[in-house]
């Protein structure tokens, strides 16, 4: 694109005022109808490239939000990661705001000069990056994690309650031998789900057995190894609460291979409500975490922070138990 084209030339070609073009560059959603279409077309045809960084230094906005996702193996197959990116992008599109995606791979090289604010899609091994942006007082919101610092806004899910309800649901179906395939316990949601599982067992007077708690780090390979251990026990479980739907489907695959009938001989509950996770003709009983609402709420809060309409907001959303076909009475 040419840097010699001026905003005046864009306005002339579009048949609008310079102020209208300037407003479009700051917030496209503020220009309606034919004017917006004409300005957009003129910019494309002339190859106009606004000097965004200069505008930001002058106190303007780039009209771009960052989304930082911690990198990990299998991220591009992760239901949570894909749904978070999709829903943040949809929420920003409705605001006429661009998305700048940044994946953290063990190095803090995120440039705040590229965006007006940032959403952290959880914080895993990049606590230092979060602390840097907090110290710089940069507008930010964290999703899927509760942050102790009272100055930080977050939108989280009640993972403890979701796990508690899932485990109690199994207990109410007569199960006393309930195992848990936990996620990566460095991740807050995995620890909260483990805590909810234990609390539900204790409330229902079921002994918490350490040999029934297996750490999978959200890996299906780890899950397969831990399932071999569980079903080598003298008293194998009759029900398993899983830290994710991916893990739950691996349980269903394992049960099919071992000719363990679900749900008659083994009940299974997942966590996520990944609509793609069906096994044969079985719909997975699971805990739905509202990723869409979490993403849209985070975008709303960040908009308010950037516009200086609020300083800190902290929201915890409910997770809902979705009953389908993989749980039965013992």
Please give the full DSSP string across 2-15, using - where no structure is assigned. BSS--HHHHHHHHT
| Contact in structure between 92 and 299 (CB atoms under 8 Å) | yes
Q: How far apart are the first and last CA of the chain?
A: 68
Please, is 308 exposed, middle or buried when counting C-beta atoms within 10 Å of its C-beta (0-12, 13-18, 19+)?
Answer: exposed
CATH of 64-157+291-318, one of 3.40.50.2300, 3.40.50.11900, 1.20.1250.30, 3.40.50.720: 3.40.50.2300
Closest CA to 245 of 219, 272, 282: 272
- CA dist., res. 100 & res. 114, Å (int): 8
Instruction: Tell me, rounded to whole angstroms, the distance of Cα 61 from its chain centroid.
Output: 26
Helices then strands, each counted (H, E), the chain:
11, 14
Q: Which residue has the tokens 């063990």?
A: 106
Contacts of 36 (CB under 8 A, 6+ apart): 24, 28
Per-residue pLDDT of the chain (330 residues; tens, 9 = 90+): 445 688 889 999 999 998 898 888 767 777 888 998 999 899 889 888 766 555 554 456 789 999 999 987 777 778 889 999 999 999 999 999 999 999 999 889 998 988 999 999 999 889 999 999 999 999 999 999 999 999 999 999 999 999 999 999 999 999 999 999 999 998 899 999 999 999 999 999 999 999 999 999 899 999 999 999 999 999 999 999 999 999 999 999 999 999 999 999 999 999 999 877 666 688 999 999 999 999 999 999 999 999 999 889 999 999 999 999 999 999
Q: Where in the chain is the domain with CATH 3.40.50.2300?
A: 64-157+291-318, 159-288
Q: Kindly report the CATH number that applies to the domain delimited by 159-288.
A: 3.40.50.2300
Q: Please tell me the distance from the alpha carbon of residue 74 to that of residue 218, in angstroms, as a whole number.
A: 10
Handedness of CA 124, 129, 133, 139 (dihedral sign): negative
């Amino acid at each position: 694109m040419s840097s010699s084209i001026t905003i005046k030339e864009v306005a002339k070609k579009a048949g609008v005022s310079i102020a209208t073009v300037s407003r479009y560059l700051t917030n496209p959603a503020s220009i309606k109808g034919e004017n917006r279409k004409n300005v957009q077309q003129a910019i494309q045809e002339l190859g106009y490239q606004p000097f965004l960084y200069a505008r930001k230094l002058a106190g303007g906005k780039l009209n771009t939000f960052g989304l930082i996702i911690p990198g990990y193996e299998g991220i591009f197959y992760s239901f949570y990661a894909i749904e978070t990116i999709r829903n943040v992008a949809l929420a920003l599109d409705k605001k006429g705001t661009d998305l700048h995606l940044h994946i953290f791979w063990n190095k803090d090289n995120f440039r705040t000069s590229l965006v007006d604010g940032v959403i952290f899609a959880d914080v895993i091994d990049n606590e230092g990056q979060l602390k840097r942006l907090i110290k710089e007082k940069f507008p930010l919101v964290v999703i899927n994690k509760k942050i102790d610092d009272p100055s930080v806004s977050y939108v989280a899910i009640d993972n403890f309650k979701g796990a508690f309800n899932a485990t109690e649901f199994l207990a109410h179906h007569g199960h006393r031998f309930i195992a848990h395939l936990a996620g990566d316990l460095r991740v807050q949601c995995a620890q909260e789900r483990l805590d909810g599982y234990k609390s539900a067992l204790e409330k229902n007077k079921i002994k918490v057995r350490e040999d029934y708690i297996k750490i999978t780090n959200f890996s299906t390979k780890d899950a397969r190894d831990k399932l071999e251990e569980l079903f080598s026990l003298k008293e194998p479980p009759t029900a398993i609460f899983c830290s994710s739907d991916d893990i739950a489907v691996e349980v269903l695959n394992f049960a099919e291979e071992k000719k363990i009938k679900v749900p008659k001989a083994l009940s299974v509950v997942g966590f996520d409500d990944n609509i793609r996770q069906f096994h044969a003709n079985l719909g997975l009983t699971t805990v739905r975490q509202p990723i869409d609402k979490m993403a849209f709420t985070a975008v709303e809060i960040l908009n308010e922070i950037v516009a200086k309409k609020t300083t800190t907001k902290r929201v915890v959303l409910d997770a809902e138990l979705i009953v389908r076909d993989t749980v039965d009475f013992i």
